[in-house]
Amino acid sequence: MTTTPNWADFQYEIYLNGMTGAVPRLPTDLTRLEELTEQRLGPGPVGYVAGSAGNGSTARANREALERRRIVPRMLRDVHERDLSVEVLGHRLPAPLALAPIGVLSIMHPEGESAAARAAAARGVPYILSSASSTPMEQVAEEMGDGQRWFQLYWAKDRDVTKSFLDRAKASGFTALVVTLDTPLLAWRPRDLDQAYLPFLHGVGTANYFSDPAFRAGLAKPVHEDPNAAVMHFVGMFADPAKTWPDLAFLRENWDGPIVLKGILHPDDARRAADAGMDGVVVSNHGGRQVAGSVAAADALPRVVEAVGDRISVLFDSGVRTGDDVFKALALGAEAVLVGRPYAYGLGLDGQAGVDHVIRCLLAELDLTLALSGHAGPATLTPDDLIEESA
């Protein structure tokens, strides 16, 4: 018997509200949110969120790879009762969705990560807090109550900072650790370069670092006396291009819960992750923000699933905008997907309510796409539910 929400109910809630003249405050086609956010917020913040590496070819490829795969619906299967819940990393999730880590969300809304995390917690969706958040992790954790929280780690050059982050995350009830490997350096991002806009240098501190005792110990002057020096210290140490696979042992020793490596695209790297005792990978190209010309995430997914799908969890992100995108990623073998930019736009347009809108639209559309294609839940999806159109 299903105990998970009937996500599709959102559809008739909207129609019924419409009888009293109330229409959704945001569009239900989430691909329209970027343009609206651009009109509402300045070009700097929106450019940073919407932008990507190089001329944007990776971000476009992410969309094309999902759109090129088409669903083949099946008929006359009993789908009247559906359950979207899945088991991921030892946790039962009400749906195969988590909010991806996004740094400095206060450029989108004054309540930044807190509002996004509250929205996720209210729907039971895991919230993955970025290391580079503009809100200290302790505050976000408190606002989430018993909501599921995972912590994304940028693996700092300074071991004391990494250790301090792990200790703080543990003490704040973050259960899984998501270690991002695809950002040892910030990529060449023309949209930000042309506006000379880097949020950290525009009055939005990464409070997660600035509030950290180990980070502050590395500063010559207190943050308030020389904020730019603090930002440049952050930029110089938040990640470490010298790290190699054996270094993972340090994280395994210092984190008891599940560890997931984010940014895996090659099956051999996925195998190395499993061999190193990791619990999962996120197949991701960082939403096209890191390697210009990179393989589309959805094209990398099947090979990774084939390599390690029977050993560790395989999650997916980069380019998910609709419920049918989620369906396709699951059919290709992902256990769950992370969504990034759409919820950042929802936040920018309507705070916590905007993030809630994005979660509900995605899951209502997923629920209906599953049902209309003959599936009562994610468990029955296989690659056979898709065909790939020639490019």
Ligand X SMILES: CC(C)CC(=O)C(=O)O
Ligand Y SMILES: Cc1cc2nc3c(=O)[nH]c(=O)nc-3n(C[C@H](O)[C@H](O)[C@H](O)COP(=O)(O)O)c2cc1C
Q: Which is nearer to ligand X, 192 or 299 (CB)?
A: 192
Q: Which residues contact 233 (CB under 8 A, 6 or more apart)?
A: 215, 218, 219
* 283 part of the interface to ligand Y, by CB under 6 A: no
Residue 339 interacts with, from ligand Y, ligand X, none (CB under 5-8 Å by kind): ligand Y
* 262 part of the interface to ligand Y, by CB under 6 A: yes
* 132 part of the interface to ligand Y, by CB under 6 A: yes
Instruction: Indicate the DSSP class of residue 378.
Output: G
Q: What is the CA radius of gyration of the chain?
A: 20
Q: Which residues contact 200 (CB under 8 A, 6 or more apart)?
A: 104, 132, 206, 231, 234, 235
* 378 part of the interface to ligand Y, by CB under 6 A: no
Q: 25-84: which residues touch ligand X (CB under 6 A)? A: none
Shortest distance, CB of residue 294 to ligand X, whole angstroms?
14
DSSP H stretches of helix in 242-340: 248-254, 267-275, 297-308, 323-331
Contact between residue 335 and residue 314 where contact means Cβ atoms under 8 Å apart = yes
Shortest distance, CB of residue 22 to ligand Y, whole angstroms?
29
**Which residue in the set 103, 263, 354, 377 belongs to the binding site for ligand X (CB under 6 A)?**
103
Integer Cα distance of 18 and 10 in angstroms:
12
CA 153 to chain centre: 13
Catalytic residues: 286
**Which residue in the set 132, 223, 273, 320 belongs to the binding site for ligand X (CB under 6 A)?**
132
The pair of three-digit structure tokens given for residue 315, joined into one six-digit string: 């999650």
* 103 part of the interface to ligand Y, by CB under 6 A: yes
**Closest to 120 (Cα-Cα) out of 314, 357, 287:** 357
Shortest distance, CB of residue 152 to ligand Y, whole angstroms?
5
Q: Which is nearer to ligand Y, 320 or 371 (CB)?
A: 320
Contact between residue 36 and residue 348 where contact means Cβ atoms under 8 Å apart = no
The pair of three-digit structure tokens given for residue 67, joined into one six-digit string: 């759109």
* 308 part of the interface to ligand X, by CB under 6 A: no
Residue 378 interacts with, from ligand X, ligand Y, none (CB under 5-8 Å by kind): none
**Which residue in the set 147, 340, 354, 378 belongs to the binding site for ligand Y (CB under 6 A)?**
340
The three-class DSSP label of residue 97 is: strand
Query: How far, in Å, are 167, 236, 320, 370 from residue 381 at the CA level?
Result: 39, 44, 17, 9
Q: Which is nearer to ligand X, 132 or 355 (CB)?
A: 132
The pair of three-digit structure tokens given for residue 323, joined into one six-digit string: 């419920």
**Which residue in the set 106, 130, 172, 313 belongs to the binding site for ligand Y (CB under 6 A)?**
130
CA 321 to chain centre: 12
Shortest distance, CB of residue 285 to ligand Y, whole angstroms?
8
Q: Which is nearer to ligand X, 128 or 381 (CB)?
A: 128
Shortest distance, CB of residue 69 to ligand X, whole angstroms?
25
Contact between residue 205 and residue 230 where contact means Cβ atoms under 8 Å apart = yes
Shortest distance, CB of residue 341 to ligand Y, whole angstroms?
4
* 134 part of the interface to ligand X, by CB under 6 A: no
**Which residue in the set 69, 123, 149, 289 belongs to the binding site for ligand X (CB under 6 A)?**
289
Site string for ligand Y, 150-179 (x = CB under 6 A): --x---------------------------
The residue with tokens 């904020």 is 227
Q: 300-339: which residues touch ligand Y (CB under 6 A)? A: 317-320, 339
The residue with tokens 């899984």 is 176
Shortest distance, CB of residue 386 to ligand Y, whole angstroms?
20
The pair of three-digit structure tokens given for residue 128, joined into one six-digit string: 């993955």
Residue 284 interacts with, from ligand X, ligand Y, none (CB under 5-8 Å by kind): ligand Y
CA 99 to chain centre: 5
Residues in touch with ligand X (CB under 6 A):
103, 132, 183, 186, 238, 286, 289
